[in-house]
Amino acid sequence: MDIASEVRASYAFVARNFNLVKRYLSWEVVFIVFTLVNVLTIGFIGVATGDKRMVLYLVIGALVWRFLSVIFHEVSESIQWERWEGTIEYTFMAPIRRTMMLFGTVIYAVLYGTINTGITLIVALLFFDLTLSGANILTGLLVLIISSFSFIGLGILAAILPLMSTERGSQAAHIIQAIVLLVSGVYYPISVLPEWIRPLSVLSPATYTLRMMRDALLNGRSIGEMWFDILILGIVGFALIPLAIFFFNLAERHAKKLGKLKRSG
């Protein structure tokens, strides 16, 4: 199969996922309303302190987490969606490289996450007096883009779980997402965590993302001042993706060998 055909096949996964959004539009409305209320609730906690910087601290955490968690969720749930729709056998029998299938899923996740977070940001601006004077927007955007690769890799690794366990794989992926939320300092500094759980924050890429985003937007730090942390985060992300794809291929062969792709629901 030539490259153009593979790219078109990859785009088909993007289009299909957006068609699923339209198919379940009422649920999408429910999820976006829940997200908006959650972000506004967190923001109003900051308002109650009377500290505008605290409001911005919390809103930055909520928005960054929303973007990264959407990417993780959409990629990690891609296999489970195939089961729910009853298309998992057909998808894995299709003449398309698995890398291109995952690429289409990732492109959709990034686009969906960008739209979703953009809507949330617009609503947050209507409710809160957010001032970004002195913020380094360029550095913040670069950090967010580079951080996406780490969460794409984590999402692909988590997508393996529904292949390995048809009943509990998806639930395990949600547990991973919840643990990352807990230890990464989304709404509070990691220094408030108990000492026995604090080492887990070192393993979460979200910890470094949030710290650098806040440094860029609250303190105006530049790329040059954070180049080493940005480089390390980039290396982790770019190394994690091929590693995740490798393990995904192993899990696929294992699932096919045991006949786990036949199950749906």
Start-to-end Cα distance in the chain:
32
pLDDT above 80: residue 83: no
pLDDT above 70: residue 225: yes
The reported pTM is 0.87
Rounded Cα–Cα distance for residues 264 and 99 (Å): 23
The pLDDT of residue 183 is 93
Rounded Cα–Cα distance for residues 17 and 13 (Å): 6
pLDDT above 80: residue 136: yes
The pLDDT of residue 184 is 92
pLDDT above 60: residue 246: yes
pLDDT above 90: residue 63: yes
Ranking 10-14, 36-40, 79-83 by mean pLDDT, the lowest is: 79-83
Q: Supply φ then ψ for residue 163, to 5 degrees.
A: -75, -35
Query: For 134-151, what is the mean pLDDT?
Result: 89
Ranking 79-83, 143-147, 252-256 by mean pLDDT, the lowest is: 79-83
Query: In what helix (H) or strand (E) does residue 24 lie, and over which residues does it extend?
Result: none
The pLDDT of residue 17 is 84
Mean pLDDT over all residues of the chain? Answer: 86
pLDDT band for position 188 (cuts 50, 70, 90): very high
Rounded Cα–Cα distance for residues 79 and 92 (Å): 10
pLDDT band for position 213 (cuts 50, 70, 90): very high
Nearest by Cα to 110 from 60, 156, 145, 58: 145
The angle that helices 98-127 and 137-164 make with each other, rounded to 10 degrees, is 130
**Which residue type sits at 79?**
I
Q: Which residue has the higher pLDDT, 18 or 255?
A: 18
Answer whether 57's CB lies under 8 Å from 51's CB: no
pLDDT above 80: residue 197: yes
Answer whether 70's CB lies under 8 Å from 112's CB: yes
The pLDDT of residue 186 is 93
pLDDT above 80: residue 26: yes
**Which residue type sits at 161?**
L
pLDDT band for position 252 (cuts 50, 70, 90): confident
The pLDDT of residue 19 is 87
The pLDDT of residue 2 is 65
Q: Which residue has the higher pLDDT, 165 or 157?
A: 157
List all residues 6 or more positions away from 96 whose beta carbon is below 8 Å from its beta carbon.
1, 6, 9, 10
Rounded Cα–Cα distance for residues 231 and 147 (Å): 11
pLDDT above 80: residue 233: yes
pLDDT above 80: residue 101: yes
Nearest by Cα to 101 from 10, 36, 176: 10
The pLDDT of residue 262 is 63
pLDDT band for position 179 (cuts 50, 70, 90): very high
pLDDT band for position 258 (cuts 50, 70, 90): confident
Instruction: For residue 263, give Cα distances in angstroms to 75, 85, 166, 167, 256.
Output: 20, 11, 8, 10, 11
Query: For 235-258, what is the mean pLDDT?
Result: 87
Quote the tokens at residue 104. Answer: 């289409």
Answer whether 105's CB lies under 8 Å from 192's CB: no
